[in-house]
Chain A
């Protein structure tokens, strides 16, 4: 479970001012593995980072702008790697190990599960509304005609939640004495990952004060 390491990096790295170059390095390393999906991510993330950079530039100075933009980019990349390499099940298992109650861990993974379902439904709603002449096609038009999308989507989400709750109840959700088929275990590799993360963290904390 590489995820523990990624998790720690994600939490701590963005507190360090000099991460930007480091984050870029990190990106390059992992770039080798997940080049194409990362480029896809960049379409959205790059734009956000650029905006962030410009705002920070005008609000403070150029250096802050660059640092902020790069930082956003590297944090985004770390998140990206995390979700690309960690199946939701592993995440929920780890949360369970940390003592998070089962219903909470379940809600987290299940909600990820339904992202594609709702993307499909959103597409259906957009198609239905467009085919009756509502030009809900993106940009400003999307904002003007938002109720035509948000209305049906919300109603369907409520209904879906109800149906989901029924189906879960009918399959024993919340019954006492749940047993896991693949009991999540903390293996030595996870221990190593945590140890390496902690060392890196400690080193970085020692170096940073000297840098400033």
Chain B
């Protein structure tokens, strides 16, 4: 095929970072047609981000290291063209939005690239208007980027790249920090990009967020492409070893022993109807429905003293009221998920649980102790936190010291428990290494062990699945189950509703600082008013179960 027809072409590319011994890309061949949309999936460390960097010429121009093969972007060999020239052909939206926004206003953010390249003034104005419309930024033009919400910041980062009018747009894990509404909005923009004829490469662990909109999936494993084709083709193949977080419906069908690979609820319903019509869904049908409908949670029947009691909690930052009349109790062995939009007050609420913030009105009691009368250190003996970013806490020379920091500060060191934790999180071989040399997934494990080392009664997990691959999710699920069996109480803050529906027995839905609903996930998801108020959408799995229920009723 003619080189110039391809928007992107990798010819036997291998690459390793300076000082690294493993090849991050390993003999990669790939071509992408103009206007094609491709989802690149793979476990952590499979080379996804490196691939993105190679597409826009940051490798080999910015990152040196060993490089074999050739990459063509829009027909240009990336070795022969500097990054700024390539930026008119391929643009990348990075993971960390903060580091991409370095101008004073959204407007200057969008024009930065155009000014750098010295475009004509009328051209700049034209492209600015277009990018602003595409990324839906017209109302934000004069705002400083720092004052924006996470979703808005990401749209600005996207707009800044779009202004360069690349024919290939790459996004590195764009959905990680978005809530349901932000996800919808981004998907809408990406569909518009596709309609404009821009080729898309989206890197994502969580396949179901985008799989419905792409033409093709490429699976990376240890720097090699191990799967490439249409979503259905790829999902039907043997891909269980590659650490992918499969779409929940595909997983459900697999569990029920069905071969179909539905990527949307409609497809799943159609598939089931077809099987029924052909009478091919005999025994497994009942089984399938039963399995899907059964609530995975046994209701805690124990009556115990509550671990957490929040009574009429109000809290405000200055004049902005963030929490309003929050009331709830948590019992032993419960796993409660806090769900809601970004900015609904979820983080402010969990900070009340160990006294980092104290209620301005009302009170929070942890094991019967009023948080206003206890210091954070006293409370942290009973409340363990695993924050979203493990880099916020690592500072010790070795993993062992890191995990034991809490127990030593709180004089609560139990050596057999800590050994058990090292084993549980697979840290035993890493104990003498510096935490800074670990992978992000390993760091996350260290922070889990560190939080659990003092045997807290309550453990708070802040977005535990964000940016994590399937193996980690599975470990996390196992860990939550174990902890609940040991009568631990868990509070989960998350946008990952699939995970929250599967592992929490209770959802607290927050909207504008108030709890708008409190109950089992199935009950909340069945109430459209509540879901709309909290800005949530029911999980695919739940939508399917509901639809199947409706079909059954029609028949009856």
In angstroms, how far is the closest chain B Cβ from the Cβ of A170?
6
The answer on a CB contact under 8 Å between B117 and A166 is: no
Known contacts A128-B387, A150-B395, A151-B395; 8 additional CB pairs below 8 A are A116-B146, A131-B385, A132-B450, A152-B395, A164-B102, A169-B58, A174-B84, A179-B118
Measured CB to CB, the nearest residue on chain B to A88 is B104
The answer to whether A132 and B393 touch (CB under 8 A), given A113-B146, A163-B96, A164-B102, is: yes
Measured CB to CB, the nearest residue on chain A to B128 is A181
The reply on A200 being an interface residue by CB < 8 A is no
Q: How many residues of B contact A (CB 8 A)?
A: 61
Stretch at the interface among B186-194, B372-380, B482-490, B499-507: B372-380
The answer on a CB contact under 8 Å between A171 and B160 is: yes
A–B Cβ pairs within 8 angstroms, 20 of them: A110-B102, A113-B102, A121-B392, A125-B392, A127-B356, A131-B376, A131-B380, A131-B385, A132-B385, A148-B395, A160-B96, A160-B98, A160-B99, A164-B100, A167-B102, A168-B102, A169-B84, A170-B83, A170-B92, A181-B108
The reply on A172 being an interface residue by CB < 8 A is yes
By a CB distance below 8 angstroms, the chain A residues around B108 are 89, 181
The answer on a CB contact under 8 Å between A132 and B451 is: yes
The reply on B87 being an interface residue by CB < 8 A is yes
Measured CB to CB, the nearest residue on chain B to A114 is B102
Max count, chain B CB within 10 A of own CB: residue among A110, A132, A163, A175:
A132
Q: Select which of B87, B94, B391, B451 is within 8 A of A172 by beta carbon.
A: B87
By a CB distance below 8 angstroms, the chain B residues around A160 are 96, 98-99
By a CB distance below 8 angstroms, the chain A residues around B100 are 163-164, 167
The answer on a CB contact under 8 Å between B406 and A133 is: yes
By a CB distance below 8 angstroms, the chain A residues around B354 are 131
Q: How far is A167 from B98 in the complex, measured between Cα atoms in Å?
A: 10
In angstroms, how far is the closest chain B Cβ from the Cβ of A80?
19
The answer to whether A124 and B58 touch (CB under 8 A), given A116-B146, A163-B99, A170-B87, is: no
Measured CB to CB, the nearest residue on chain B to A137 is B376
By a CB distance below 8 angstroms, the chain B residues around A169 are 58, 61-62, 83-84
In angstroms, how far is the closest chain A Cβ from the Cβ of B107?
9
By a CB distance below 8 angstroms, the chain A residues around B395 are 147-148, 150-152
Q: How does the 8 Å CB contact mask read for B446-478 relative to A, with 1 for contact and 0 for none?
A: 000011001000000000000000000000000
Measured CB to CB, the nearest residue on chain B to A168 is B102
The reply on A83 being an interface residue by CB < 8 A is no
By a CB distance below 8 angstroms, the chain B residues around A165 are 62
The answer to whether A181 and B450 touch (CB under 8 A), given A113-B104, A152-B392, A171-B116, is: no
The answer on a CB contact under 8 Å between B83 and A181 is: no
The reply on B428 being an interface residue by CB < 8 A is no
The answer on a CB contact under 8 Å between A175 and B409 is: no
Interface residue ranges of A103-123 to B (CB < 8 Å): 109-110, 113-114, 116-117, 121
The reply on B410 being an interface residue by CB < 8 A is yes
The reply on A129 being an interface residue by CB < 8 A is yes
Measured CB to CB, the nearest residue on chain A to B163 is A171
The answer on a CB contact under 8 Å between A133 and B380 is: yes
Q: How far is A38 from B384 in the complex, measured between Cα atoms in Å?
A: 40
The answer on a CB contact under 8 Å between A170 and B58 is: yes
Max count, chain A CB within 10 A of own CB: residue among B116, B384, B451:
B116
Using a CB–CB distance below 8 Å, which chain A residues touch chain B? 87-89, 109-110, 113-114, 116-117, 121, 124-125, 127-135, 137, 147-148, 150-152, 155-156, 159-160, 163-181
The reply on B243 being an interface residue by CB < 8 A is no
Q: How far is A169 from B381 in the complex, measured between Cα atoms in Å?
A: 46
In angstroms, how far is the closest chain B Cβ from the Cβ of A36?
13
By a CB distance below 8 angstroms, the chain B residues around A113 are 102-104, 146
Q: How far is A133 from B377 in the complex, measured between Cα atoms in Å?
A: 4
By a CB distance below 8 angstroms, the chain B residues around A128 are 385, 387, 392-393
In angstroms, how far is the closest chain B Cβ from the Cβ of A129?
6
By a CB distance below 8 angstroms, the chain A residues around B119 are 179
Main secondary structure of the interface of A (DSSP, over half): helix
The answer to whether A130 and B92 touch (CB under 8 A), given A152-B392, A152-B394, A172-B117, is: no
Measured CB to CB, the nearest residue on chain A to B460 is A131
In angstroms, how far is the closest chain B Cβ from the Cβ of A152?
6
Q: Select which of B84, B384, B436 is within 8 A of A155 by beta carbon.
A: B436
The answer to whether A175 and B116 touch (CB under 8 A), given A132-B405, A166-B94, is: yes
Q: How far is A48 from B83 in the complex, measured between Cα atoms in Å?
A: 48
Interface residue ranges of B81-119 to A (CB < 8 Å): 82-84, 87, 91-92, 94, 96, 98-100, 102-104, 108, 111-119
Q: How far is A26 from B436 in the complex, measured between Cα atoms in Å?
A: 51
By a CB distance below 8 angstroms, the chain A residues around B383 are 131
By a CB distance below 8 angstroms, the chain B residues around A114 are 102
By a CB distance below 8 angstroms, the chain B residues around A178 are 115-116, 118
By a CB distance below 8 angstroms, the chain A residues around B384 are 131-132
The answer on a CB contact under 8 Å between B380 and A171 is: no
By a CB distance below 8 angstroms, the chain B residues around A164 are 99-100, 102
In angstroms, how far is the closest chain B Cβ from the Cβ of A127?
5
The answer on a CB contact under 8 Å between B56 and A170 is: yes
Max count, chain B CB within 10 A of own CB: residue among A128, A152, A180:
A128
In angstroms, how far is the closest chain B Cβ from the Cβ of A17?
38
Q: How far is A137 from B380 in the complex, measured between Cα atoms in Å?
A: 14
Q: How far is A176 from B436 in the complex, measured between Cα atoms in Å?
A: 38
The reply on B121 being an interface residue by CB < 8 A is yes
The answer to whether A179 and B376 touch (CB under 8 A), given A129-B393, A132-B450, A163-B99, is: no
Q: How does the 8 Å CB contact mask read for B62-78 relative to A, with 1 for contact and 0 for none?
A: 10000000000000000
By a CB distance below 8 angstroms, the chain A residues around B83 are 169-170, 172
The reply on B480 being an interface residue by CB < 8 A is no
Which 9 pairs show the lowest CB-CB distances between chains A and B? Answer: A151-B395, A172-B116, A177-B118, A175-B84, A163-B99, A171-B113, A133-B409, A128-B392, A172-B84
